[in-house]
Structures are given as C-alpha cells and as structure tokens.
Amino acid sequence: MNNKVIQTENLTKTFGDFTAVNTISFDVYEGEIFGFLGANGAGKTTAMRMLSGLSTPSSGKASVAGFDVYRQTESIKKNIGYMSQKFSLYEDLTIRENIELFGGIYGLRGRLLQEKKMALLKNLELEDDQMKLVSSIPLGWKQKLAFSIAILHEPRVVFLDEPTGGVDPITRRKFWDLIYAAAAKGITVFVTTHYMDEAEYCNRVSIMVDGKIEALDSPDRLKITHAAGSMDEVFQQLARRAVRKAD
C-alpha cells in the first residue's frame, strides 16, 4: 500500500473570481478505496475532473498513475476508468454494444474482448439481457454496468462521481461489492458520495468544505478525533462551517 497512484500538491482551480478548488494536497495509494466527500458545490467534481484529465488546473501539482495532469492528460486517460454522475453509457445501444464499444476504445479486441465481455455479463447476471437497449434497463443495473465497463480495461485508477445516486440501499450495497472486488484486483478506487454509510466502507476519506480539504483519515480515526459516533456526525460538524451556498 505504499505506491502512490495519485499525488496532488496545492492543486487549485479558479473560474474567474471563484476558487472552486483551493490548494488541496493529498496522496492516494495503490489498491485503496478513497472516499472523496463534501457537500454540493464543495468542489469534488472539479477536483475529480482535473485528476482525470478533463480540466486543466489553474495552479499546483498533480500526477495520476505517474503522469502529469498538465502535460500528459492522454497518458492518464489510458490508465484510468471514469464513471460520471451524468449517466455515461449510450442509451440507444444495447448492453452488449456498450461493452464492445468501450472495450474497443481501450484497445481490447478479438478473443480477449469476447472473454472479458462474457465474464462481465456473467458477473452481473445479464447474459440473457445483453441484447436489451440500455434505455430499457433499471437504474441500478445501469450503474453496475457502467462501473463494470469503466474497469473492463483494468485501469490503475477508477474515478466514480456519485455512482450510486437515486437507488435503494440494497442496490447500493451490491454496487459496493463490485467496488471491493475491483480493489481486491489492485484497482485504486476514487469515489465521491453523499451517503455516509458508504463513507464507512472506504479505507480513507477526505472531507472537502468550500474548496479545501478539512479532514483526511480513515473513518475510524476521524470519528475518534471528532468525538463522533458516526461518519454522519463527522460530516455534519465539518460541513456546517461551509460559507458557500450549496447549488
């Protein structure tokens, strides 16, 4: 657990006068499940977009999988998976076509792609539904499918932006089983969430308030240092200090 997969130092993003992300510094280790918490508008998504090469930082340093976020965004993109809160599969393609499309984009082809596709479908128990259009399947299935596709090419890091929004606790629990399985294979998981029960599942969590990281530790240690009974209490204590209005 000593290999740093993500390193940031004073990473900042400003939009005009507004500092969305304010000098954040943290490291994420290989195979870790890293929870990235914060109220709406705290800057989580902006930070994640910088790390995944979708947005150029205003200042500070950061590297992902050993590649620089300013100059090597395309190399980063080869080594990460990404699943955004805006649902990111093609609704007018079937389950099977989505798997083949994104697998193909990451260079999987021929027998390897077929094998991985079959394993994915079997794992999600979607073998009989593979010809269904994504638009016709339930949200919980879509999320699991999107996550499985995001890690199909076995990236070093997978970024999940509020992956479980809008589904019931049982479906969420099943989603987290997939996350554990991915982490066990050595894929580092960087996840933003609003659900504090999910925060408890992470190895370490950071809590962002108004663009800054206010706390960063394992859930157990955070509860001790904040004299709180649950992660929810920790979050309430920190997030209440926020000046910024949630969007």
Q: Can you give the binding site for other proteins, defined by CB under 8 A?
A: 52-56, 73-74, 77-78, 80, 82, 84, 86-93, 97, 100-102, 104-107, 109
Q: Give the residue with the Cβ less far from other proteins, 93 or 228.
A: 93
First to last CA, the chain: 36
Minimum Å distance from CB 190 to other proteins?
Answer: 13
By the 8 A CB rule, do 28 and 5 touch?
yes
Residue 100 or 232: the one with the smaller Cβ distance to other proteins is: 100
Indicate the residue among 90 and 180 with the shorter CB distance to other proteins: 90
What is the nearest approach in angstroms of other proteins to the Cβ of residue 218?
Answer: 29
Tokens 């998976």, located at residue:
81
Question: How far apart are CB 143 and other proteins at their closest, in Å?
Answer: 14
Buried b (16+ CB within 10 A) or exposed e, 147-175: bbbbbbbebbbbbbbbbbeebeeebbebb
Residue closer to other proteins, measured from CB, 86 or 111:
86
195 vs 165: CA distance, rounded Å? 9
Q: How far is the CB of 128 from other proteins (least distance, A)?
A: 21
**Backbone CA torsion sign across 206, 207, 209, 214:** negative
Cβ of residue 210: shortest distance to other proteins, in angstroms? 22
CB of 55 to other proteins, least distance (A): 5
Q: Are 242 and 208 in contact (CB under 8 A)?
A: no
Query: Is the CB of 54 or the CB of 228 nearer to other proteins?
Result: 54
Identity of the residue, 94 or 219, whose beta carbon is nearer to other proteins in the bound complex: 94
CB half-sphere exposure, 137, CA atoms < 13 A: 25
From the CA atom positions of the chain, what is the Rg in Å?
18
Owner of token pair 């990460």: 80
User: Which ranges of 80-184 would DSSP assign to H, the alpha helix?
Assistant: 95-105, 110-123, 139-150, 169-184
